[in-house]
């Protein structure tokens, strides 16, 4: 059994990490940290864990040595503690944004701070199994992409690898309220959030850089909107493509590209209620559904993807990377297939 500690276990991503680690047959949850909640039971914050564990939160300075550290601490905060974290585990899997971008100048552009440890960035492997499985099998430092970035990258990758993209990719992303985190603020109280469709990033969203980096440096412009859902991400990517691309061509390409992927499904049908990827039916699962439509008149493809932002967009992706790193079957601990109706 591998010993695992979750650093930053009080938030929504931290809670999903705890749920998944506790349900994983090859892992032992040894500790989880929260400065604010140190000494309190995990189920005082995560009520779904009642009867599953008697663990309490500890302070980060009480961490010992573990096989794996899963970091769910904040953007621009995690980089400062990374040298210490790397001394506490053989494998570190980071879910913050601090080691996702390979170019420190891009980090400054999107986060407005200098990177505290740029010398460590190149030692991290991007935690996206569909693109980096071989490298993840030997990686001791893994950086999991953002939720909307993961959806967009998986929607776009079959087009990018075939060099079909001919210009600026525009990404229209929608996300549920859990993407804002567990901390209360004026923007996410019920009276303000309920019924709203709030465009919180009309341009320049930080995931632009991650998406562009993963699709070969092609230019990306991204808009993000908060919608009335708790979980879920859906992205629509408008992609200028080479002339003559047909729906049949894309169907063959997408199915071939994701043929052997356990957690990516190609969804594009002409009948039924769920003709393109829909996040509602992916709640709690580690799936990312991808699909597409062809706009022949404007010579573009609309690539669509959906996922649960807390699972395939975060904690589930981290566990999938952990499974690969330690030679475990990728589906281990991640086999929940969702509910319908929800």
Architecture in CATH for domain 147-307: 2-Layer Sandwich (3.30)
Helix (H, G, I), strand (E, B) or coil at 102: coil
In sequence order, the β-bridge partners of residue 130 are none
* 237 Cβ contact partners less than 8 Å away, ≥ 6 residues apart: 152, 155, 156, 169, 170, 171, 172, 302, 303, 304, 305
Contact in structure between 171 and 222 (CB atoms under 8 Å):
yes
Number of H helices, E strands in the chain: 9, 13
Contact in structure between 333 and 142 (CB atoms under 8 Å):
no
Q: Which two tokens stand for residue 198?
A: 């709030």
Q: What gap in Å lies between CA 200 and CA 46, rounded to an integer? A: 28
Domain ranges of the chain: 2-123, 147-307
The reply to whether 147 belongs to the active site is yes
| Cα-Cα-Cα-Cα dihedral sign, residues 265, 328, 214, 200 | positive
CATH code of 2-123, in short, is 3.40.50.720
Strand order in the sheet with 66-71: 27-33, 2-7, 66-71, 89-94, 141-143, 125-126
In tens digits, what is the pLDDT along the chain, a chain of 342 residues?
999 999 999 999 999 999 999 999 999 999 999 999 999 999 999 999 999 999 999 999 999 999 999 999 999 999 999 999 999 999 999 999 999 999 989 999 999 999 999 999 999 999 999 999 999 999 999 999 999 999 999 999 999 999 999 999 999 999 988 877 766 677 777 778 888 888 888 998 999 999 999 999 999 999 999 998 889 999 999 999 988 899 999 999 999 999 999 999 999 998 999 999 999 999 999 999 999 999 999 999 999 999 999 999 999 999 999 999 999 999 999 999 999 998
DSSP for 190-248, written as a single string: HHHHTT--EEEESS--THHHHHHHHTTT--EEEEEEE-S-SS-EEEEEEEEB-TT--HH
pLDDT score at 307: 98
- Give the CA dihedral 90, 95, 97, 101, nearest 10 degrees: 60
pLDDT score at 184: 60
Residue whose C-alpha is closest to residue 153's, from 132, 175, 128: 128
pLDDT score at 181: 73
Contact in structure between 338 and 285 (CB atoms under 8 Å):
yes
pLDDT score at 196: 82
Q: What gap in Å lies between CA 33 and CA 42, rounded to an integer? A: 10
Backbone angles phi, psi at 207, to 5 degrees: -70, -15
């Amino acid at each position: 059994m591998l010993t695992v500690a979750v650093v930053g276990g009080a938030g929504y991503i931290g809670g999903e990490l705890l749920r998944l680690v506790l349900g994983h047959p090859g892992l032992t949850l040894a500790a989880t940290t929260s400065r604010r909640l140190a000494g309190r039971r995990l189920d005082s914050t995560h009520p779904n864990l009642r009867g599953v564990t008697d663990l309490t939160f500890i302070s980060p300075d009480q961490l010992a040595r573990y096989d794996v550290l899963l970091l769910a601490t904040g953007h621009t905060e995690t980089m400062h503690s990374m040298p210490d974290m790397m001394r506490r585990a053989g494998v570190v899997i980071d879910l913050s944004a601090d080691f996702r971008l390979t170019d420190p100048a891009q980090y400054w552009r999107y986060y407005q701070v200098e990177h505290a440890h740029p010398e460590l960035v190149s030692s991290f492997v991007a935690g996206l199994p569909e693109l980096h499985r071989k490298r993840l099998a030997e990686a001791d430092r893994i950086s999991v992409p953002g939720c909307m970035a993961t959806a967009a990258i998986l929607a776009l990758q079959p087009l990018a690898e075939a060099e079909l993209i001919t210009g600026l990719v525009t990404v229209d992303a929608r996300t549920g309220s859990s993407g804002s985190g567990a901390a209360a603020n004026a923007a996410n109280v019920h009276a303000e959030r309920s019924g709203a469709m709030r465009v919180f990033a009309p341009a320049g969203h930080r995931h632009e850089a991650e998406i562009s980096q993963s699709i070969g440096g092609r230019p990306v412009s991204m808009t993000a909107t908060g919608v009335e859902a708790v979980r879920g991400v859906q992205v629509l990517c408008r992609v200028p493509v080479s002339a003559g691309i047909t729906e049949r061509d894309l169907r063959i390409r997408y199915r071939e590209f994701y043929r052997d992927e356990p957690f990516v499904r190609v969804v594009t049908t002409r009948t039924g209620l769920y003709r393109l990827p829909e996040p509602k039916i992916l709640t709690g699962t580690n799936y990312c559904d991808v699909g597409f439509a062809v706009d022949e008149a404007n010579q573009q493809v609309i690539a669509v993807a959906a996922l649960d932002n807390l699972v395939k967009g975060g904690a589930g992706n981290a566990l999938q990377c952990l499974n690969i790193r330690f030679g475990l079957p990728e589906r281990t601990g991640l086999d929940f297939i969702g509910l319908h109706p929800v």
